[in-house]
Structure formats: structure tokens, C-alpha cells
Amino acid sequence: MKLHQLKALVAIHQSGSILEASKILHITQPALSRAIKELERELGFVLLQRSYKGMTLTDEGKRIIRHANLVVESIRRLQVEAAHIQDAALGAVSIGVTSLTALLDGVDESILAFRRKYPRVKITITDLRPSQILQRLRDGSLDFAITSQQPLTRLNLDWEAVGSIKGKVICHASHQHKFSQSLRALQYANWISLDELADPASQFHQLFEINGLRVPQNAVECTSIMMALKLLKNTESLMTISELAVDDVLTLTTSSEIASVVVQELVPDYPINLVSIDRHSLTAPAEELFHSLRTRLLKAAE
């Protein structure tokens, strides 16, 4: 099994065609097809098939592609690390954040301090849903992430808890929900989830599950805070949100429009975790920024 074969598989999967993949890799289509045939012959099964969507993975190919992505990305990181060894001022770091962790005090300061120290290191910060972050970590396109997801399963990732943010339930101040004192009474109300409804690790799911309650069925998934605020008012909905985000919410509306719903049940904290494939295998620039952020977040949590 050779690297160029895995690169060929990844490129075809990403582009959906041999023609586009050959352009990406700067090789001829016959050479690309030959690389795939050699890989399939070595593995003993077909990886790609033609469909109305172009070239798509077979069931066997779907099981292989994650490993191929990781190998190709690991080689790219090895090359970056080699360049960094040659010139400590060069490199690249890719970080994932959620809409909550992007607001954490000190994160921006640590990144800016790192930027001043290493002005030629490329830094990419991507705001993603927690489940998307885990996928991007597994396929190697993120070095590490600061996530606000409950680690219900470790998924072979390196997790470290570095703090937590209190959660709240809110509604529009004009709604009768603000007088409710129990989640049980609100199970059949309209809810808004800023995370994926299908994600059992989301704050929305955890709010009900840890209290032994059924997750509401009348829920809208909405990742836009602006749209969520409009829905909060116009659909008599409730939502769970972090205390850290409340101040930002109030800058988008007037404080008199938002009401906290004080329920007797436990409202779970939003956990703050640093997550990577393996912190010990990070490239040198990623490792330095990782530990800088770790120190800052742990200090803020004291």
C-alpha cells in the first residue's frame, strides 16, 4: 500500500470524479485509475463505483476512507513539522471552537500572543458544531479543539476538562413560561436547540435526560442566534443557553425582552474541554498554542 494510492482515493472521494482528482493531484487520469486499481487489488475489494453523482465509495470504501484521510493528513502534518524543524517560525495550526467556547475569556489573547511570537505561522480557527468538531478531529483536519460537548464517549480522542460554564433556560419576557418552575411542565412546550437535535451529548438533550425526563418533541434546531431570538419571541419558545452567552444575547436585544426560567430541576453546566487525537503527537506550533490555551483556561476556571 503506497501513499500515492491513498492520496488518489481521498482526492476522488472529495472531488467526486477522476477528472477533477487528476487536476488536484496534477497527474493523468490513466495514472490515477491505475493507482486505484492497484490499491483495490492489494486490498481485495472494490473501493469506488460510478453513480449518477459521479464516483462514489462502495460500502467497503466507506470503511477505508477514514483511515486513508487520516494517513494523508498525518503525512501532511509530518511535512509541516519537518518544515518547522528547519525553520521554527514556520508552520500551521488549525483549531476548532464552538459558538460558546469562542466567547471564553483569554482564548483570543492567547492566540494573539502566539501570533505575535510566530507571525509566519498560519492559524485557522473554525466555528463548528460539537459533533462536526469530533469528525474533523478524527479525519485529521483539525489539530485540536476547544469544545463545549459532553464526552459521553471518548471516541479514541484525547479529552481534558478545563472548565465549565453555567447553563440557563430562557424565554421571551412576554411569555407565561417565565413563571414555570418545573421542566416537567415544559416538556410539551416549544423549544429551540442551538445544537443538533439528534446529538445525545448536546446541552438540549442533557437538560432533560439528567433529570429523567423525555426530550421534548416540539423542538426546532437553529444554529443562528439571531434567528433563535426571533423564534423565541414569535413562537413562545424556550431555549437553553450558557450564562456566558447571555450577555452577548442582551447586546442583540434589550434586556427587558429576555427572561430566565428558574426551574427546580438541575440545569447542567456546559463543559469546556480541550480535545485532540493525541496531544503528544501535535506539531510543535500546535503543541505550544495548545499548552498556552490550556494554561489560560485552567487559570480562568480556578
Write out pLDDT tens, residues 270-294: 999 999 998 988 888 899 999 999 9
Look at residue 85 in the predicted model and tell me its pLDDT: 64
The CA-CA-CA angle for residues 283, 289, 293, to 5°, reads 140
Q: By the 8 A CB rule, do 196 and 179 touch?
A: no
- Give dist(CA 122, CA 125) in Å, integer: 10
Q: ∠ CA(105), CA(109), CA(113), 5° rounding?
A: 160
Reported as a pLDDT band with limits 50, 70 and 90, residue 37 is very high
Average pLDDT over residues 183-201: 89
Fold match flag (87-164+271-301 vs 167-268):
yes
Task: Give pLDDT, residue 225.
Answer: 82
Percent of the chain with pLDDT over 90: 40
Instruction: Specify the CATH number for 3-68; select among 3.40.50.720, 1.10.1040.10, 1.10.10.10, 3.30.565.10.
Output: 1.10.10.10
Domain range annotation of the chain: 3-68, 87-164+271-301, 167-268
In which band, very low, low, confident or very high, does the pLDDT at 163 lie, cut at 50, 70 and 90? very high
- Structure confidence at residue 250 (pLDDT): 63
Identity of residue 29: Q
Q: What is the mean pLDDT of residues 4-25?
A: 88
Determine the topology of domain 87-164+271-301 in CATH: D-Maltodextrin-Binding Protein; domain 2 (3.40.190)
Give domain 167-268's CATH superfamily.
Periplasmic binding protein-like II (3.40.190.10)
- What pLDDT shows up at residue 99? 86
Q: Count how many residues are written for the chain.
A: 302
Closest CA to 168 of 262, 247, 234: 262
- Residue 235's pLDDT is 84
Give one DSSP letter per residue of 180-212, joined into a string.
---SGGGTTSEEEESS-TT-TTSHHHHHHHTTT
Q: What is the pLDDT of residue 275?
A: 95
Dihedral (CA of 54, 57, 59, 60) sign: positive
